[in-house]
Structure 1
Amino acid sequence: MVAILTFSHGSRAAPIDTSGPVDHHPIHHVLATGQSLSVGANGYPALTTAQPYDNIMFAPGVIPGGEGLHKFSPLVERGLETMSSSFANLVGKMAREELHAASNLDPHDLLVSAHGVSGVGYWALKRGTKPYTIGLAQVKAGRDIAKAQGRPYVVRAITNVHGESDHVRQNLRYESDLLTWQADYERDVRAITGQREPVPMFETQMSSFTRYGAATSPIPGAQLAAHVHAPGKLILVGPKYHLPYASDGIHLTNEGYRHMGEDYAKAYRRVVLEGRTWEPVRPQRIARSGATIVVTFYVPSPPLVLDTARVSDPGNYGFEYEEAGPHAPTIRNVAVTGPDTVSVTLSAPSTDKSARLRYAFTGNAHAKAGPRTGPRGNLRDSDTTPSRSNNELFNWCVHFDEPVP
């Protein structure tokens, strides 16, 4: 069978080769956007050189561009490691071995394709830009190849790794930009595929802002706010300070990308495979009594742990207390006091209504990102999800800045 693939942006029509991997299961497509961390910058050498399941990519590669997309190939990395392979392969493992092992349900093999661009902000990736158009070309190609193979096709999600360039520009509209970005993808993808399924955007917080010469950044807070204000649409996987960074302190190592992909896979499982809500480790409720602040957290896998072995202590396990005036109390002690609670003890009681509790919020300007040097904290959960790459897949607390009632 030969079908004709025509791109709306004017590329020449070309025949689709249907001789690639074919099975009886639907094609679940996940698009990857963002800047350099979305395309594996510095992730040399490639680690995923064999496909353990039936995950696929377009024949040109994981980052295939928008033309010549006529055939699927087994998903492997070439040259460098992106997060896309480890993401797809852990989803495949969980779907086959845990969720669908005892049934004849779809094993949920993925088609992944990246169209991110290094060093650019939202303004260069949003609807109407060349990268965005390439992403939609990948959707059209996936739809048409699937149709030629007689297979159902659906776009399940967008993975986004982004924020550095918007930090440099101090983009104070970044939360709104994220919401628009996701909504545009969902609308345009549905127009192409005709699907009813939602297209959520999965994101991680930027954890490298100190490398750009600033002690703080509005971007991680905007990424958290988008998750809170658009539940099920913008889904915050977590931070990135726990990952191994390359020597530049901005990009990840090949192992770092592989670990990050598996972090995304866990959130994808919860939302897409199980139809439930994903919450990272983040504050759910903050209460004050005298000199004690008690924080109740969302915890994917209790109990909470203060871990100084995997992430070094930046002071007070990453917690900060801020209030106006020259005689503000300081943090005297931080302790886990329940499976989902942390108690922060101050040096004196306070009733200041402008007080803020922060975590992994302030770092040392110019410091490289990472578990020993960057803006970070020590709070994590006890997730025991098996990794395919011998990673410890704990969920680390997000960067936050919250009022103290």
Structure 2
Amino acid sequence: MKQLCASFLIVVMFTTHCFSEEQPTLKADIVGLWMMGQSLCEGAESLPVVTPTDQGWGNYRFKRGVRTWMYGDHCQTPEDRSEEQFKFVPLSATKHGGLGETIANGLADHLKSQFTAPKLSKDKSKAASPHFLTAYAGQGGRLIDELSSIDQSTDPRTPESRQHGGGYYKTSLDDARRAKAQAESMGKKFSIAALIWMQGEANGGPKGGINPSRWGEELTRPDGQKWYRDRLIEYRNQWSHDLQLITGQVDEIPMFTYQTQGAAGEAQLMAADRDPNISMVGPHYMVPSAANSRYSGRYGDPIHLSADGQRWYGEQVAKVVHRVLQEGEEWEPLRPRKAIVAPDRKSVLVEFLVPRPPLVLDETFLPRQRYPMNKGFHSLYGFQIRDADRAVSEITEITVESPTSLRIELTSPLDKETTATLSYGLPYADRIGTILDIRKGPNIDDQPTTDLLVEAIDDDRLKPLIAEGIFYVSNMLSGEAYSRAPIRLIQAANGKTANGKTANGTTTLRFQNRELRNNKSFATGQKLTAMRAFSYGNLRDSDSEKAIYHFADGAYGTRVDQPYPLWNWCVLFNQFPISEQ
């Protein structure tokens, strides 16, 4: 019998562009880029740094560093910090314990290049205004109301382990006072052009909702997202107002937010939809994680970003800041707009907003996201379809039909008696084989290792995983049987790291024993699935803007010296409704 297939047609719309005169804040001699957030904003484990010296763009940080809030150093009385620490010095990345590269250099230097190039050479750009000053006053792991004027971390109901001094918001304001005073001492004008927001993970609850505090009840996902949306809007309003009082600016200061993973990420997009002074740059899932970082004899956590990942995302933010503030573009990230099932239920039309068409299903730069299901896929290229009972509809194929459309084919049409939703973003790269043998590996840096021998893996499937750096493998079992480990070496027959097969038709995957999740061992016969550190998908646009920086850390992956790509990747979304018409 001929197999019955349903298909989904995804059509993409793109935003129009308008241009305006340069904003007054950008005409100041020194222009602030004020950052707030948690671990991704502070550069947690983003080591070793890739911008250790002045890059010659004429941008600044305080002598104290980009990170201005420091535990045990006048947390609640930032006005008492030494004046000497607030002199302007050339912008570079610094290491402070487990903190390293931030988005600052990518952000400020790319912005400077957009304002001065191609009119001026880089040497002449250094002396030209504006000079961007970056400052960050947050701390990793913080809730939104711990970073706000509410200063929730000083509330006695906060667990003692999370009472680290507080004062983040007031520190950010004092930083602005210091910057204005320093600029005036130089005979310069100071203003703040943009607020950069990178917070949200900490508010995510264990049930998929939002935690407003560390002691209250978790809000359900819909209610929690509305709460976070409103709190982010309130935060921007107050932050802008208080900074305007310090700098003397008349206009509102716009905020640019990333998209975090989880419920808060969608709430950030909801805030951008409601407040015209908030723009979402887009997701960060395309950049390498801190699992590739090395410091103090250890590797970083996969939830953080590598140093190259930080600088790359900084350029991504700068691109959007420039388009909004300088070019007057009504920015929208790549996102779904509407989904409609066809009358014959064999196709669904899904309209997207896309910054720079045409669409691309990219399986070269990122590994193709897919997870097998019977003869098709549980998810493919990041997309997944479920009915009202959360049952998954099996996908057989997704193809690009035109510069603005995709077609998702299913093994059977959608049921007329139920509703369906579309989601995007999963971490599974592919099922890569069955464990044939497990062997003790050699000690590496005094650490014991384990080798997993699996069926030979095709080079093309491994190439994008290896290009990025570290990837994970899991047995995908539930409960206490679940095993996962980061693969740090693929061993070929000649003993060299390669995208190849061993002579006996197997591929060897090596991990350090200390990185085995929950110390749960793998077993022969288990099927392995490759995973990226972040939930992701393969849908991007064709943005042609060029980065000024290249991948610099050659200790992992194969991309060193390649420029960072500044494509716009689709935002993560969950249960987007598919309507009947």
- Quote how far apart the aligned CAs of 1:68 are: 2.8
Residue 409 of structure 2 is matched in structure 1 by: 345
- Quote how far apart the aligned CAs of 1:54 are: 1.3
Residue 181 of structure 2 is matched in structure 1 by: 144
Q: 2:302 aligns with which of 230, 249, 270?
A: 249
Residue 39 of structure 1 is matched in structure 2 by: 42
Residues 328 and 203 of structure 1, relative CA distance in 2, 3 Å threshold: closer
Residue 359 of structure 1 is matched in structure 2 by: 424
How many angstroms apart in 2 are the aligned matches of 1:137 and 1:353?
Answer: 55
Residues 145 and 284 of structure 1, relative CA distance in 2, 3 Å threshold: same
- Quote how far apart the aligned CAs of 1:108 are: 3.2
How many angstroms apart in 2 are the aligned matches of 1:44 and 1:328?
Answer: 40
Whether the 8 Å contact between 1:303 and 1:382 is mirrored in structure 2 is yes
Residue 114 of structure 2 is matched in structure 1 by: 94
Whether the 8 Å contact between 1:100 and 1:107 is mirrored in structure 2 is no
For residues 279-358 of structure 1, the aligned pairs below 5 Å read 279-289=332-342, 290-315=345-370, 316-325=380-389, 329-346=393-410, 347-351=412-416, 354-358=419-423
- Quote how far apart the aligned CAs of 1:115 are: 0.8
Quote the RMSD (CA, aligned, Å): 2.8
Whether the 8 Å contact between 2:388 and 2:420 is mirrored in structure 1 is yes
For residues 214-253 of structure 1, the aligned pairs below 5 Å read 217-231=262-276, 233-247=277-291, 248-253=301-306
For residues 255-294 of structure 1, the aligned pairs below 5 Å read 255-289=308-342, 290-294=345-349
Q: Which aligned segments of 4 or more residues in structure 1 are displaced greater than 4 angstroms?
A: 98-101, 325-329, 349-353, 361-371
- Quote how far apart the aligned CAs of 1:343 are: 2.9
Residues 328 and 258 of structure 1, relative CA distance in 2, 3 Å threshold: closer
Q: What are the Cα deviations for residues 198-243 of structure 1, in whole angstroms up to 9, with x where unaligned?
A: 2122111123xxxxxxxxx322211221222223x22111111111
TM (norm. structure 1) is 0.83
Residue 379 of structure 1 is matched in structure 2 by: 539
Q: Output the amino acid matched with 1:311.
A: L
- Quote how far apart the aligned CAs of 1:349 are: 4.3
Whether the 8 Å contact between 1:292 and 1:349 is mirrored in structure 2 is no
Q: What are the Cα deviations for residues 58-80 of structure 1, in whole angstroms up to 9, with x where unaligned?
A: 12111134433542111111222
Residue 64 of structure 1 is matched in structure 2 by: 68
Residues 75 and 322 of structure 1, relative CA distance in 2, 3 Å threshold: same
Residue 453 of structure 2 is matched in structure 1 by: none
Whether the 8 Å contact between 2:197 and 2:258 is mirrored in structure 1 is yes
For residues 9-158 of structure 1, the aligned pairs below 5 Å read 26-48=29-51, 49-65=53-69, 66=78, 67-69=81-83, 70-79=86-95, 80-98=100-118, 107-129=129-151, 130-158=167-195
Tell me whether 167-176 or 300-309 shows the greater mean CA deviation.
167-176
- Quote how far apart the aligned CAs of 1:353 are: 7.0
Whether the 8 Å contact between 1:368 and 1:374 is mirrored in structure 2 is no
How many angstroms apart in 2 are the aligned matches of 1:344 and 1:261?
Answer: 33
Q: Output the amino acid matched with 1:68.
A: S
Whether the 8 Å contact between 2:427 and 2:533 is mirrored in structure 1 is no
State whether structure 2 residue 207 is matched by structure 1 residue 162: no
Q: What are the Cα deviations for residues 90-140 of structure 1, in whole angstroms up to 9, with x where unaligned?
A: 111111115889xx9x74321111112011111210124310000000111
Whether the 8 Å contact between 1:90 and 1:388 is mirrored in structure 2 is yes
Q: What are the Cα deviations for residues 11-48 of structure 1, in whole angstroms up to 9, with x where unaligned?
A: xxxxxxxxxxxxx9521101111001111111112222
**Helix, strand or coil at the partner of 2:54:** coil
State whether structure 2 residue 243 is matched by structure 1 residue 189: yes
> Sequence identity, in percent?
30
- Rg bigger for which structure? 2
Residues 249 and 328 of structure 1, relative CA distance in 2, 3 Å threshold: closer
How many angstroms apart in 1 are the aligned matches of 2:120 and 2:350?
Answer: 37
How many angstroms apart in 1 are the aligned matches of 2:258 and 2:352?
Answer: 18
Tell me whether 156-165 or 293-302 shows the greater mean CA deviation.
293-302
Q: Output the amino acid matched with 1:35.
A: Q
- Quote how far apart the aligned CAs of 1:267 are: 0.8
- Quote how far apart the aligned CAs of 1:168 are: 3.9
Q: What are the Cα deviations for residues 170-215 of structure 1, in whole angstroms up to 9, with x where unaligned?
A: 42122222111111111111122221232122111123xxxxxxxx
Whether the 8 Å contact between 1:307 and 1:379 is mirrored in structure 2 is yes
TM (norm. structure 2) is 0.59
Tell me whether 197-206 or 106-115 shows the greater mean CA deviation.
106-115
Aligned residues: 370
Whether the 8 Å contact between 1:310 and 1:371 is mirrored in structure 2 is no
Residues 137 and 276 of structure 1, relative CA distance in 2, 3 Å threshold: same
How many angstroms apart in 2 are the aligned matches of 1:348 and 1:285?
Answer: 19
- Runs (5+) with no aligned partner, structure 2: 1-26, 70-77, 152-166, 211-223, 292-300, 371-379, 429-475, 487-529, 550-562
How many angstroms apart in 1 are the aligned matches of 2:40 and 2:393?
Answer: 39
Residues 141 and 302 of structure 1, relative CA distance in 2, 3 Å threshold: same
How many angstroms apart in 2 are the aligned matches of 1:320 and 1:131?
Answer: 40
Residue 565 of structure 2 is matched in structure 1 by: 392
How many angstroms apart in 1 are the aligned matches of 2:43 and 2:113?
Answer: 22
How many angstroms apart in 2 are the aligned matches of 1:190 and 1:68?
Answer: 24
Whether the 8 Å contact between 2:361 and 2:539 is mirrored in structure 1 is yes
Whether the 8 Å contact between 1:361 and 1:400 is mirrored in structure 2 is no
How many angstroms apart in 1 are the aligned matches of 2:251 and 2:44?
Answer: 31
**Helix, strand or coil at the partner of 2:231:** helix
Whether the 8 Å contact between 2:334 and 2:571 is mirrored in structure 1 is yes
- Runs (5+) with no aligned partner, structure 1: 1-23, 208-216
